[in-house]
Chain A
Amino acid sequence: MTAPISHRARAWQRFAHNRLAVVSVGFLGLLLLAILAGPLVWPYDPTVPTGQQFQPPDFKHWFGTDVHGRDLLARVLYGARISLLVGAVGTAVSLFIGVLWGAVAGYLGGRLDAALMRVVDVLYSLPSIVFVIVLITTLEDLFKRWLVHWLSPQWGGVARLLFLFAGLGAVSWLTMARIVRGQVLSLRTRGFVEASRALGANHWQIIRWHILPNVRGIVIAYLVLTVPSVILSESFLSYLGLGIQPPQASLGSLIADGAGQINPIRMYWWLITMPGMVLVSTLLALNYFGDGMREALETRE
């Protein structure tokens, strides 16, 4: 007979058995290492031209060089850093809104729940990225002026970045709200919560001691799944020229640069394939990681 193990330990075991998920975590770890330590080791600067334009990948420039002769690997490392940053912060914003929205709806229930969830349904079926596009094009100048006026002129340069954080976070919370609401709704009526209420615990104590610890796992799993969708939205906007602006770069804007160089005479395939490959494998790894976590936590015995 095996020793009894906790729910968490069992979920962990299930996750460790999922080879794809474990490989993905390894890949993400390597990617993080490359992004953080790469620029220290790699001899080229993402913004300094090497003098050799359109070099195909070789031992000197692993990813080749771009139209200005800048080393593409250095640029991809830099771009991936921005993309992941937007993904992480955008997800954090969506976590805040989604958990609050879902928890309020699920915990208080009734009419308020119905109204809040109806809003989620309606927003779900609208192309949210259109709102981000309209928001960015309309309010950005205002926001930039405001930043420069109240803080300092340097802040003007990061206005777009802050806008992406807020905008992408503000449209990515819907799934999180649904998940949290569903969990809270079912937890609320469980025996241990009712027992706690009968013992005189107030709302805050119930949320703190019973609800939060129980939704934490699934929230983290969906958090990991939100990151790739935010990264995807950011690169989508950057591709359209509405995201990260030069001299900054993200994976999306690098791909856009590569797509701009397509012509029937010379094929600069590495300009689009290299950043594209990094983007796709990052999204893939994050999805496998998140799926693995969700499956490990959701399986009931």
Chain B
Amino acid sequence: MFYLKRILFCIPLLLVISFLSFSLVRLAPGGPFDKERKPASPEIERQLRAKYHLDEPVLKQYWRFLKGAVQGDLGPSLKYRNQNVTDIILQGLPVSLTLGSIAFVFALAVGIPLGCATAARRGRWVDMAGSFFALLAVCIPGFVAGPILIMLFALHWRWFPVGLWESPLHAVLPALTLGLFYAGKIARLMREGMLSVLPAEFIVTARAKGASEVAVLWRHAFRLAVLPVVSYSGPLLADLLTGSFVVENIFQIPGIGVFMVNSALNRDYPLVIGLVLVYAALLLILNMLVDFFYSVLDPRVRYE
């Protein structure tokens, strides 16, 4: 029931987002047929505008767009002629999702053990070094890490190929670049979560019963300590999406992140709106999953 309500709440939200982005890009001066793509004569331009219904009132255009969007048709791209926005997104989305998932799994695989280790050895050198690396990872943006990794591992040592999206080897450097920040962020959240759980009475009890330190951490403390990580996953996933713009750009990966920036610069209205909508929908779904996991992990949380 709760999830049904959440889904119903998403619909007006998506409508508001689509309408805002729709009117915003229409408000902007300069059209899609400016600059080098300027048609030869005003007559041709008028016909082009008529073909893409740009001459109609904004509200009518919006209605036309909505009718199409419900049927899965997000309209034609104005820059990449002969291509549908839906096609472009369907082509790029699997690539972006693959890259994002690999990066996220990498971040969890590095961040969670690192966070636990630093919390368990609080104040010792393991904590000092681990926390430093976690913060360093948060402070190295992808556009610094990416080119440096390319220079070292792809150009200097030639261990990994870059510039294509064909074999699993091609995914290593981009996923590393994208996941680095989240690994650090997750490690920091995990450490804080652990530190807040470890003084609890049930941990003292577990220790008194003679449970080993590893068992205390993983079997008893972990389930509660990981909650900050889970509840922060929503914003984290949003960051992961924006991070992919840069990473796809650096590594020339054919995902949808590259289109986000280019389409806004090209004033390719339907593509901008389509991408914004896909991102918003994706995040709403992911956030719902996050809430679901939260309630599974913490039985005290129940959504009625």
Residues of A in contact with B (beta carbons under 8 Å apart): 122, 124-130, 133-135, 137-139, 141-142, 145, 228, 232, 235-236, 239-242, 252, 255-256, 258-259, 262, 264, 267, 269, 272-273, 276, 279-280, 283-284, 287-288
Assembly CA distance A145 to B28 (angstroms): 12
Interface-side segment among B37-45, B48-56, B105-113, B259-267: B259-267
On chain A, the residues within 8 Å of B276 by CB distance are 130, 134
Q: Which residues of B6-39 have CB atoms within 8 Å of chain A's CB atoms?
A: 13, 21, 24-25, 27-30
B87 interface residue (CB < 8 Å to A): no
Beyond A125-B238, A287-B138, whether A259 also contacts B143 by CB under 8 A is yes
Assembly CA distance A232 to B25 (angstroms): 26
Most chain B C-beta atoms within 10 Å of own C-beta, residue among A122, A138, A262, A272: A138
Beyond A130-B276, A134-B276, whether A240 also contacts B135 by CB under 8 A is no
A–B pairs, 22, beta carbons within 8 Å? A122-B13, A125-B235, A126-B283, A127-B238, A127-B283, A130-B242, A133-B260, A134-B272, A135-B24, A137-B267, A141-B29, A236-B242, A239-B246, A259-B143, A259-B146, A259-B147, A267-B155, A272-B147, A276-B148, A284-B139, A287-B135, A287-B138
B287 interface residue (CB < 8 Å to A): yes
Assembly CA distance A241 to B150 (angstroms): 21
Kindly identify which residue among B25, B147, B238 contacts A126, using a CB–CB cutoff of 8 Å: B238
* A236 x B144 contact (CB < 8 A): no
Beyond A125-B287, A138-B25, A141-B30, whether A267 also contacts B143 by CB under 8 A is no
On chain B, the residues within 8 Å of A235 by CB distance are 141, 143
* A272 x B234 contact (CB < 8 A): no
On chain A, the residues within 8 Å of B283 by CB distance are 125-127
Assembly CA distance A131 to B65 (angstroms): 20
On chain B, the residues within 8 Å of A255 by CB distance are 143-144, 147
Assembly CA distance A141 to B34 (angstroms): 13
CB distance from B224 to the nearest CB of A (A): 20
B213 interface residue (CB < 8 Å to A): no
* A283 x B139 contact (CB < 8 A): yes
B298 interface residue (CB < 8 Å to A): no
Q: How many residues of B contact A (CB 8 A)?
A: 46
B156 interface residue (CB < 8 Å to A): yes
* B155 x A137 contact (CB < 8 A): no
Chain B residue, CB-CB nearest to A268:
B151
CB distance from B141 to the nearest CB of A (A): 6
Q: Please name the 6 residue pairs, one residue from A and one from B, whose CB atoms are nearest each other, closest first.
A: A138-B28, A276-B144, A283-B139, A137-B264, A125-B234, A259-B147
B249 interface residue (CB < 8 Å to A): yes
B250 interface residue (CB < 8 Å to A): yes
Assembly CA distance A127 to B283 (angstroms): 9
On chain A, the residues within 8 Å of B136 by CB distance are 280, 284
On chain A, the residues within 8 Å of B139 by CB distance are 228, 280, 283-284, 287
B175 interface residue (CB < 8 Å to A): no
Chain A residue, CB-CB nearest to B17:
A126
* A134 x B143 contact (CB < 8 A): no
Assembly CA distance A255 to B239 (angstroms): 20
Assembly CA distance A108 to B235 (angstroms): 27
On chain B, the residues within 8 Å of A273 by CB distance are 148
Chain B residue, CB-CB nearest to A288:
B135
Chain A residue, CB-CB nearest to B146:
A259
